[in-house]
Amino acid sequence: QVQLVESGGGLVQAGGSLRLSCAASGRPFSDYDMGWFRQAPGNQREFVAAINWNGFDTNYADSNKGRFIIFRDNAKSTLHLQMNSLKPEDTAIYYCAAAPLGTRGLDVLRSYRYWGRGTQVTVSS
């Protein structure tokens, strides 16, 4: 079991940057693969980025196109998402999620067992 708390959301202008963070507690952080998802009003929750337990494997949604970087610090039990060149379409609640070690398909919602409550990101035109 792991508890997750997101932070770092806010209001930025298009083209700006934000860094989201996710603090984990409970079981050792390295027991989990991790991901970021987002959900805008009226939309389904969608995949943003994922990273495996040791940080050596990452994957991103095509919409990121190199704008976002996911990384983790296992010593501090934290996950981060650096978001650059933000667009209004990035506006959403961003959720941190944890999947048991060895889970396949980290780009799909059902792969994740634990979720934070989310942090709001708003990008203005």
Which residues of the chain are under the pLDDT cut of 70? none
Q: Is 99 exposed, middle or buried (0-12, 13-18, 19+ CB in 10 A)?
A: buried
* φ/ψ (deg, to 5) at 16: -85, -175
pLDDT of residue 103: 87
pLDDT of residue 16: 98
pLDDT of residue 110: 96
Nearest to 22 by CA among 46, 62, 51: 51
